[in-house]
Structure 1
Amino acid sequence: MSVTAAGEGPWLDDAAGRLVRPFTVSNGRTRPTIALDLLSQVMATGADTLGYLGPEHAQVLDLCRAPVSVAEIAAQLRLPAVVTKVLLADLVDCGALTAKPPAFHHNPTDRSLLEAVLDGLRRQL
């Protein structure tokens, strides 16, 4: 069994997985202070953060050197989307990140668009 040190990334155990519960990362908060969609793009501003931020906040900033989606960050951190959104909102609130809503050129619930996506997925399988 190996456990990663605190400064080296998320606390993981080879057999048990994450040793810190996801909602501990957000101090039990389940609602971000800003509206973020899974397809929203976030990017680091380069501004210094004021106050204490946890190691996950530092990981987020490292992942956001270029524009990246909320969903991608959640996947990289291996955290639920709602916890990731809380972390991102913390960083937007302190000026360390900027967030842009997804830019849909089409209606995201347009039936023909959804059918085209489904057809593409079927071809991949």
Structure 2
Amino acid sequence: MALPTQPWEPEDDAPVARVVRPYTLTGGRTAPKVELPFEATLRRESGTGEPTDPKLAQILAVCDKRSVAEVSAHVHMPIGVTRVLLGDLIEQGFVRVQATLTADSSHDERRELIERTLRGLRTL
């Protein structure tokens, strides 16, 4: 056991958990700068290159044709953090958001969204 004047050291070779607070990944921001619903489908813009930030690159690698919620699950980040970082990618021109349903959406638009969702679920 460590004495109060000595730094604590683990007694076994167990790996030490490294916890990064979500706000450190977003620079303290808690909301994206763009409107970004959880169900919004994302499209990667072609010919835009890669972001320099490794977390943004990780998100960009999995975001094409997926929803915001799916991207969050794939990169193992909280949804709030993912939304903020996706907002950055959208502002930088790496990603665009496909239109989502509104109260004025037609029956065909609603059917298309359901079919797209079912196709996505079948591929999992």
Unpaired stretches in structure 2, ≥5 consecutive residues: 1-13, 102-108, 112-124
> How far apart are the structure 1 equivalents of 2:70 and 2:15?
23
Is the Cα–Cα contact under 8 Å of residues 23 and 29 in structure 1 kept in the other structure?
Answer: yes
SS in structure 1 of the partner of residue 29 of structure 2 = coil
> How far apart are the structure 2 equivalents of 1:62 and 1:54?
12
SS in structure 2 of the partner of residue 29 of structure 1 = coil
- Which is greater in Rg? 2
Residue 14 and residue 73 in structure 1: after superposition, are their counterparts in 2 closer, same or farther (change >3 A)?
Answer: farther
Please identify which structure carries the higher strand content: 1
Task: Give matches, 1:22-101, under 5 Å.
Answer: 22-46=22-46, 47-48=48-49, 53-64=52-63, 66-101=64-99
Residue 24 and residue 75 in structure 1: after superposition, are their counterparts in 2 closer, same or farther (change >3 A)?
Answer: same
Give the structure-2-normalised TM-score: 0.62
Cα deviation for residue 30 of structure 1 reads 0.5
Unpaired stretches in structure 1, ≥5 consecutive residues: 1-12, 107-125
What amino acid sits opposite 1:48 in the alignment? G
Cα RMSD for the two superposed structures: 2.4
SS in structure 1 of the partner of residue 35 of structure 2 = coil
Cα deviation for residue 93 of structure 1 reads 0.3
Residue 14 and residue 72 in structure 1: after superposition, are their counterparts in 2 closer, same or farther (change >3 A)?
Answer: farther
Give the structure-1-normalised TM-score: 0.62
Is the Cα–Cα contact under 8 Å of residues 39 and 101 in structure 1 kept in the other structure?
Answer: no
Cα deviation for residue 20 of structure 1 reads 1.8
